[in-house]
Structure 1
Amino acid sequence: MKMGFGGRVKAAAKILMTGSLEDYRAAFIRGDDLDGWTVDAETAMKYSAVNACIRVLSETFASVPIILYQKTKDGRDPSTDLAAYDVLHNRPNEEMAPFNFNETMMTNFCSSGNIVCERLYNRAGELVGLYPYSHRVTNIGRNRDTKKLEYKIGAGPDSKTLNRSQVLHVPNLSFDGVIGMSPLTYAAETIRLGLSYEKYGVKFYNNAAMPSGVFEHPGALGDEAYKRLKKDLTENYIGLQNTGTPMILEENMKWQQVTISPVDAQLLESKYFQIEDICRIFRVPQHLVNKLDRSTNNNIEHQSLEFVMYTMLPIYKRFEDNINMQLLSREDRNKGYYFEYKLDGLLRGDALSRAQAYAQARQWGWMSVNDILRLENKPGIGPSGDIYLQPSNMVEAGSDQSAAQNNARLIDDIQRMISERR
């Protein structure tokens, strides 16, 4: 007869509370303990690797400001004209600062695959706030009659239902492009395994009661001999100050060191390697969660750049597109307004790398001194700092003006020589 869900939970709990380490290890290998766990966001966050990955993503996302731009004939200019800019950049709502708001959005985005924020408007119809709802109280579905998305917030008499025009909804990777998938749901087995390793480690160290070694005696120690041995060990061999002191054993007594069994060592080591799977799911470099066994000073910088390019950039693009589509009117978009996250801070590099990049930009004439100082958050040097340089030896691509000029000079010299002879 197959054990039901409740029975598996009780069996696992009984083993954890009253069973021995060997019983727990056997249940772990059989999978009894794994089947009894339900992985939700709260459970997953208790796993250190999941917690670290979501924190890295959330704090990195919240560290980048969002800027409103307007397209111009010469490119684009930063703007503060729209009310949505003040909400997203300065004051999302009465209770949250921009960093906390963005961090909360990203945490729910990573946990449930969706972020739902209610739009708050004033009487003039201007956006004055965004309030994010936890995935625990949000249910996304389609109305059977209208076939349009609805967002049910809460449960019971205090619940409310919002339509698409009343929320900002950003979905994660999705099969239908509308409702995002939760990475925690699709990685449940991996997370269960990681949690099992952690619980096994706790059980091993707390309840195994493994001493560092044992004394072997050919006979039986009397009470007085036992007390004298215990006192001698306590006074002369235990403690940091007695480390390395040679031990004197009497009556053919032998010391036998106890080591960890190969099975226990392999399971505990597997807990460490399980972190790689979690990092793979969230696309977070392992060095960002303090797993440094494969990182060096030479490759960490490249891994950090790859994290920005291949992990954070798609996330920012996803949020930009949804914000521009849902919070800007067609009239605003026709006027050239659009939001964009400013990623310069994530790509700055060290002082030497920035100096080399600035030097090339200055030399080739596409940045001025004031442009460089503004990127470094420093004041300009006045009108002279807006001058752009151009190398004197630059010519139009595909042309050979230098050769033509040499030929022209050569012709002039020949003509002059001919004239002088006449």
Structure 2
Amino acid sequence: MGYLTNLRNALLGRAQASSTFDLTSMTPAQVGEFLRIGGSMETASGVSVNDTTAMRVAAAWRCVNIIAGTVGSLPLDLVMRVSENVRKPAVGHPLRTLLTVKPNPWQTPSEFRRMLQAHLMLRGNAYARKVRVGRDTVALIPVVPDRVQPCQLDNLSMEYRVTLRNGSQVRLPQTEMLHLRGMSLDGVTGLSTLSYMKESLGLALQGENSSANLMKNGQFVSGVFKHPEQLSKDVFDRLKASIEEYRNGGARAGGAMILEDKMDYAPVSMSAVDLQFLQMRDFQRYDIAMFFGVPPHMIGATDKATSWGSGIEQQGIGFVTYTLNDWLVTWQESLKRDTIPEAEWEKLDVRFYPQALLKGDSKAQWDAFVKGRQWGVYSANDVRALLDMNPRDDEAGNEYAVPPNQTQATAGDPAEPPVGDPINEPA
């Protein structure tokens, strides 16, 4: 009965909010979409935008897939702070297994992070319910953002009202929920990207629908045949058969067509209206990429100059610096706040390793290793560890080189730092 009551209330609320609500004429899929997004995601172009329809737009799919895939594939580890400058992996800590091996019974760490990052990008919030045994978190169960209503209590703590699949609702304290929050204006709920970019997505979806209808109805034609009078049935049938033969290819394809009975042919070129339609569809790709902070070249839009830099390499660096790093910091700080006990905040950290992005560019990776070895940042064994190789057998593998602007006599003096950061320098 609780589920039916919630369904009835949802229907009544949606009906009052929408002047076009007609349950009797809706398909089951349309009812589900209406209940989930209501009328709030209806766009001026007439298209309802939600997670499913948004991902049908190629530019949106690519942007979400690039960022979520990168967050999911980057190495992540739980590290222990031995001293102010010394850190090492927190081997044996139960949370390390949770983050790096098995977050829940059915997902790998990359699948878990990819899913929550997609939620975070589209809805502005991502949630995972914590399964706890004593003080330790032993599993993270992802929760669809539409089922969660975050609120702040009078004592400033957070409470999450989660709607279960049977329609009932439970209230979870902050200690039982992992909450990844995007940019927020109230500090409680992240801003939904879909809500702010719905008009751009609506235009893109309508552009695709219009193109599909034009192709379906045959309104993209190369020319027309004109005749001063009405064609007889025999002439029409011969003309139609001749056109079909040329259109289907064969030996006569590309040759000249003989017109009979005072018939004339007029080619049809693309009109200015058609060109503007194509330009609008092209513009939507850049608009969507701007919302997600992805360089246009990464979604296949390479026909315009951008403000990201003068070359592809600079645009890639801008993506890591201004877009990806923001998401990585959100993950690191949220995981530390919600999964590490407060008593261990001083000695435990969650860290991503963005230098793994260099693996796609062997030249940049080896340049970084050479600089690190040259300036005494890396030893040979440090480099071998980053390449997932065993250390050298001799002690020389642990030696650090003296920077080239120092001699043994002045090795204690501070060295002039190298240009750039050889450790985290992005590809």
- TM-score relative to the length of structure 2: 0.78
Cα distance in 2 for partners of 1:378, 1:280 equals 40
Match of residue 215, structure 1, among 216, 221, 225: 225
Aligned residue for 1:305? 317
Alignment length (residue pairs)? 373
Conserved in 2, the CA contact under 8 Å of 1:113 and 1:172?
Answer: yes
Shift of 1:171: 0.7
Conserved in 2, the CA contact under 8 Å of 1:287 and 1:295?
Answer: no
1:262–1:345 Cα change, 3 Å: same
Conserved in 2, the CA contact under 8 Å of 1:53 and 1:279?
Answer: yes
Match of residue 80, structure 1, among 91, 101, 105: 91
1:159–1:214 Cα change, 3 Å: same
Shift of 1:91: 0.6
Conserved in 1, the CA contact under 8 Å of 2:150 and 2:188?
Answer: no
Aligned residue for 2:32? none
What pairs up with 1:337-376 in 2 under 5 angstroms? 337-348=348-359, 350-376=361-387
Cα distance in 1 for partners of 2:214, 2:203 equals 16
Shift of 1:225: 2.9
Aligned residue for 2:158? 149
Cα distance in 2 for partners of 1:304, 1:337 equals 31
Cα distance in 2 for partners of 1:63, 1:295 equals 29
Shift of 1:209: 3.3
Unaligned runs of 5+ in 1: 14-31, 400-422
Cα distance in 1 for partners of 2:403, 2:352 equals 33
1:392–1:306 Cα change, 3 Å: closer
Aligned residue for 2:3? none
Conserved in 2, the CA contact under 8 Å of 1:8 and 1:35?
Answer: no
1:355 partner letter: W
Cα distance in 1 for partners of 2:405, 2:53 equals 65
Conserved in 1, the CA contact under 8 Å of 2:161 and 2:172?
Answer: yes
Instruction: Report the secondary structure of 2:62's partner residue.
Output: helix
Aligned residue for 1:270? 280
1:318 partner letter: T
Conserved in 2, the CA contact under 8 Å of 1:115 and 1:171?
Answer: yes
Deviations 1:272-326 (A, max 9, x none): 1111111101101122222232379982222222211111111111111121122
Cα distance in 1 for partners of 2:50, 2:376 equals 55
Deviations 1:66-106 (A, max 9, x none): 11112234521122232111111111011211111111111
Aligned residue for 2:418? none
Conserved in 1, the CA contact under 8 Å of 2:246 and 2:253?
Answer: no
What pairs up with 1:5-404 in 2 under 5 angstroms? 5-7=18-20, 34=44, 36-73=46-83, 75-122=86-133, 124-143=134-153, 148-154=157-163, 158-207=168-217, 209-235=219-245, 238-239=248-249, 241-294=251-304, 299-334=311-346, 336-348=347-359, 350-383=361-394, 384-390=396-402, 394-395=406-407, 396=410
Deviations 1:325-366 (A, max 9, x none): 2221232123x2111111121244522222233223223333
Cα distance in 2 for partners of 1:373, 1:398 equals 27
Cα distance in 2 for partners of 1:269, 1:135 equals 35
Unaligned runs of 5+ in 2: 1-16, 27-41, 414-427
- Considering fraction of residues, name the structure with more helix: 1
Conserved in 2, the CA contact under 8 Å of 1:117 and 1:133?
Answer: yes
Name the stretch that deviates more: 336-345 or 240-249. Answer: 240-249
2:77 partner letter: I
> What percentage of residue pairs aligned between the two structures are identical?
27
Instruction: Report the secondary structure of 2:44's partner residue.
Output: helix
Conserved in 2, the CA contact under 8 Å of 1:83 and 1:126?
Answer: yes
Deviations 1:168-198 (A, max 9, x none): 1121001122321111112222222222222
Shift of 1:146: 5.3
1:36–1:211 Cα change, 3 Å: closer
Conserved in 1, the CA contact under 8 Å of 2:358 and 2:364?
Answer: no
Cα distance in 2 for partners of 1:226, 1:140 equals 69
Q: CA RMSD in A?
A: 3.0
Aligned residue for 2:35? none
Shift of 1:397: 9.3
1:274–1:89 Cα change, 3 Å: same
Cα distance in 1 for partners of 2:72, 2:404 equals 45
Shift of 1:218: 3.5
Deviations 1:205-241 (A, max 9, x none): 2235343222223444333333333333444564164
1:102 partner letter: R
Shift of 1:114: 0.9
Cα distance in 2 for partners of 1:338, 1:188 equals 37
Cα distance in 2 for partners of 1:203, 1:233 equals 23
1:51–1:6 Cα change, 3 Å: farther
Conserved in 2, the CA contact under 8 Å of 1:201 and 1:268?
Answer: no
Cα distance in 1 for partners of 2:172, 2:246 equals 73
Name the stretch that deviates more: 129-138 or 78-87. Answer: 78-87
Conserved in 2, the CA contact under 8 Å of 1:92 and 1:98?
Answer: yes
Cα distance in 1 for partners of 2:378, 2:228 equals 86
